[in-house]
Structure 1
């Protein structure tokens, strides 16, 4: 059991490293000037910035490793007496971790210099609009999936009849993740924060890893469900 847990961590870290290498190869030339300018405002060794990076990277690692472990062992369901209670408990833990991540993100922005070219009413309104759009995607995703669907219920054996394809999933894949990214981007622009923009890049990369890690597994869960239903019929 312990080695299975470690294996999931190593797989996730491998995906993270792979995405970072690919992203570096794609964006290094195009974004070098922009990144250099942003880094001129940011001290990456500042404790609040480091804490923000760690919480951003840790959260998807935590929920993916725990959910995979539960799917293989059903230990959480056994400990809590039911898969629904176990899933809700994990969901509560994820929410608390996300609150901590947002707090660290904000503190990292406040501890670093502002960018004067972003410190104007127009940029603030753009950031506010991004925050609104991101909020719509996050909230509508939650309504479409429900609590257990949002917080990895399929890993606990709590499956819907089929994967959700209604709005916002009809216009965007993984709207919860990209809505959250838009929220952080908008929040960073509203604060005219280069540190926030860099951290938003970390958020986007981390979610990209999570998607690469989660999508095939979730698709396989529903493929197995469809196969079992076909055999019963």
Structure 2
């Protein structure tokens, strides 16, 4: 199935990892079983590596210098701008990840309805955790507002934070696992339908 690059212990296991890197670890693990010479793989790895590096460096630079807030004339406007850039980068990362998944051979073990249902369940749980986290935190709470001096009056303890300490990271992890299964199963069923049509 291509060269082996990283295994499931790439981040020391899910239980021991820094939750800020949960989706990074899962995507690296999933992409670790693909052909490293594939240009889709290269693009996905670059996007996965660049995104957290970008927003962490920019946020810490802003916290130390406040230069973004000064340039935009407001910490809120600066935070919204960084958040918009992060969203665009995440769309690009998801696209690169999907293309890397689609360009690889399909696993025969996923050729069943159960794998498809598991993918849907993971996407449902992941999307619920990510969206409810966003609604609870708001835009500035989600997109590094604390580095801009934008703080909430108290720690958020409503759902999903009442259930998990890091719901957005767990949700993001579930989404990438589910999405990795979806391209595989979708392509398998598309190929089956195409073969059945040709036999007629």
TM-score by length of structure 1 reads 0.65
Q: Equivalent residue for 2:172?
A: 180
Name the SS of the counterpart of 1:122 in structure 2.
helix
Q: Equivalent residue for 1:97?
A: 89
Structure 1 residue 22, shift from structure 2 partner: 4.4
Unmatched 5+ residue regions in structure 2?
1-8, 17-28, 186-200
In terms of fraction of residues, the more helix-rich structure is 1
Residue number among 166, 170, 173 corresponding to 2:162 in the alignment = 170
Q: Equivalent residue for 1:47?
A: 39
Q: Equivalent residue for 2:139?
A: 147
Is the counterpart of residue 63 in structure 1 residue 55 in structure 2? yes
Q: Equivalent residue for 1:156?
A: 148
Q: Equivalent residue for 2:114?
A: 122
Q: Is the 8 A contact 1:125 1:190 kept in 2?
A: no
Aligned residues: CA RMSD: 1.9
**CA distance in structure 2 between the partners assigned to 1:130 and 1:20 by the alignment:** 21
Q: Is the 8 A contact 2:98 2:183 kept in 1?
A: no
Q: Is the 8 A contact 1:138 1:176 kept in 2?
A: yes
Per-residue deviation, residues 18-51 of structure 1 (Å, max 9, x unmatched): x95745xx9xxxxxxxx8xx83xx2122110111
Unmatched 5+ residue regions in structure 1?
1-18, 27-34, 194-233
